[in-house]
């Protein structure tokens, strides 16, 4: 299947407009803030019944954990690249299994 190429007379799509991207980001940031603030008003019941992990009851635990986890994930993965990344043809010319 041959893929088409973009034509010069193409209509502008929704994310071609940087303003729409900006609006989406603003809405997204507001959602994040509201979710964090919800911790102040919602009483969460603990996942650990016997208080093995008191930290989970702290304000914003799940949000902060998710954020930090992803930053660590990406930073470690970048280091992993130094160790394991090779050129695309690395295994070409490999002996038959």
Partner 1 sequence: MSGLELHPALPLLVGGLLLAVVPLSVRRVGIVLLPVLGFANLLQLEHGEVMAQLLGYELAVLRVDKLSLLFGYLFHLAALLAAIYSLHVKDAVQHVSGLAYAGSAVGAVFAGDLLVLFFFWELLALTSVFQVWARRDRASTSAGTRYLIVHVASGLLLLGGVAQRLQSGESLRFDALSVETPGSWLILAAFGIKCAFPFVHTWLVDAYPAATPTGTVFLASFTTKTAVYALARGFAGLELLIWIGTAMAMFPIFYAVIENDLRRVLGYSMINQIGFMVVGVGLGEGLGVNGAVAHAFNDVIFKGLLFMSMGAVLLRTGRINGSELGGLYKSMPWTAGFCMVGAASISAFPFFSGFVSKSIIMYEAAHRGEVWVWLALLFASAGVFHHAGIKIPFFAFYAHDSGLRPPEAPLNMRVAMGISAVLCILIGCLPGVLYDLLPYSMTYEPYDVTHFLTQLQVLFFSALAFTVLMLSKVYPPELPSVNLDVDWFVRRAIPRTAATVGRPVVLVSSAVGSWVAGIPRAILTLAGWLHSPKGRLGDPWPTGITAFWAALLLFVVLVYSYWFA
State the angle between helix axes of 18-41 and 61-84 in degrees (0 to 180), rounded to the nearest 10.
130
- Rounded Cα distance between 32 and 75, Å, is 22
Shortest distance, position 30 Cβ to partner 1, whole Å: 11
| 57 in Cβ contact with 46 (< 8 Å) | yes
Shortest distance, position 19 Cβ to partner 1, whole Å: 16
Residue closest to 34 by CA, chosen among 1, 66, 60, 2:
60
Shortest distance, position 9 Cβ to partner 1, whole Å: 12
> Which residues sit at the interface with partner 1, rule CB under 8 A?
1, 3-7, 10, 13, 15, 25, 28-29, 31-32, 35-36, 38-39, 42, 44-45, 47-50, 52-53, 60, 62-71, 73-78, 80-81, 83-91, 94-97
């Amino acid at each position: 299947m041959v893929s088409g190429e973009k034509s010069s007379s193409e209509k502008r799509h929704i994310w071609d407009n940087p303003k729409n991207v900006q609006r989406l980001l603003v809405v997204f940031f507001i959602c994040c803030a509201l979710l964090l603030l919800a911790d102040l008003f919602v009483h969460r019941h603990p996942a650990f019944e016997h208080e093995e992990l008191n930290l989970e009851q702290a304000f914003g635990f799940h949000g902060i954990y998710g954020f930090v986890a992803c930053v660590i994930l990406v930073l470690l993965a970048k280091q992993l690249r130094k160790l394991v990344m090779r050129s695309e043809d690395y295994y070409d010319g490999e002996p038959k299994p």
